[in-house]
Amino acid sequence: MTGAAQTWDANAYARDAAFVPALGKAVLELLDAAPGERILDLGCGDGVLTQRLAAAGADVFGVDADAGMVSAATAKGLNVAVGDGQTLNYGAEFDAVFSNAALHWMPDHAAVYRGVFRALKPGGRFVAECGGHGNIAAIRTALRAVLARRGLASPDVQTYPTALLAARQLEVAGFSVESCAVIPRQTPLPTGMAAWLTTFRHGFLPEAERDEVVGEVVDLLRPSLCDADGNWMADYVRLRFRAVKHG
């Protein structure tokens, strides 16, 4: 998760967040990687989708800010490195830049877009999916309410843009935007809300009060995000776009 504000447990991520790469089919299809293409996987995580790109015949290089995730991807035999997507330093090296579920961990999207533009060859494409405006709104509100009740401020600085804002920032960076849309997507959580919170929000939880905070957030969310059979759903909203570097 390039530019992430928290460290990650690769084993917990593989167990509780396997749905993230599993739901990456649409953005992979939008990328439409071709054999031999040089592709940068930005925010590659533990490399599950990086593997799929490599299996399609692409020459893939992955970058992620978390050393544990990079180690997990390296163990899969992938070519990856630690790096921050907000400070990319590549010059016209890639036919495409791909990113799934990572850009919202990089608050300075304008800096990301400028770096990606520099990294692409002329005619190269930037294809990404991340949290869009309204993403996990109920979860964020519940967590902020519980923290505020304890006199704590939320350290959540994630950026979930509208399609209009994302397209404008991409164009300012030099891209021609071919498609850009916000897509509501209710997402089942097979291991439940408490597991989601400890996996995706552990860096936002006070260590000494973690279990109590998680329990209170789960109680607040149960009426709206858990069905009568105990199945949890997250109120995900995705931003998906394809942009091209012409010239």
C-alpha–C-alpha distance, residues 51 and 62, integer Å: 10
In a domain, 201, yes or no: no
The enclosing domain of 22 has a CATH number of 3.40.50.150
In a domain, 2, yes or no: no
Is the model's pTM score more than 0.85?
Answer: yes
In a domain, 204, yes or no: no
Percent above pLDDT 70 for the chain: 90
In a domain, 183, yes or no: yes
Give the closest residue to 38 by CA, choosing from 129, 123, 128: 123
Q: What is the pLDDT of residues 44-74, one digit of tens each?
A: 999 989 998 999 999 999 999 999 989 999 9
In a domain, 147, yes or no: no
- Residue 146: half-sphere exposure toward Cβ, Cα within 13 Å: 23
How high is the pLDDT of residue 4?
41
C-alpha–C-alpha distance, residues 186 and 135, integer Å: 10
| Phi-psi group of 64: left, alpha or beta (phi > 0 → left; psi -120 to 50 → alpha; rest → beta) | beta
In a domain, 76, yes or no: yes
Tokens of 26: 């649409």
The pLDDT mean for the chain works out to: 91
Domain span at residue 56 reads: 10-135+158-188+236-244
Q: What is the pLDDT of residues 74-122, one digit of tens each?
A: 999 999 999 999 999 999 999 999 999 999 999 999 999 999 999 999 9
Question: How wide is the angle at C-alpha 89 spanned by C-alphas 67 and 45, nearest 5°?
Answer: 30
In a domain, 164, yes or no: yes
Number of domains the chain is built from: 1
In a domain, 42, yes or no: yes
CA dihedral 115, 118, 121, 126 (to 10 degrees): 30
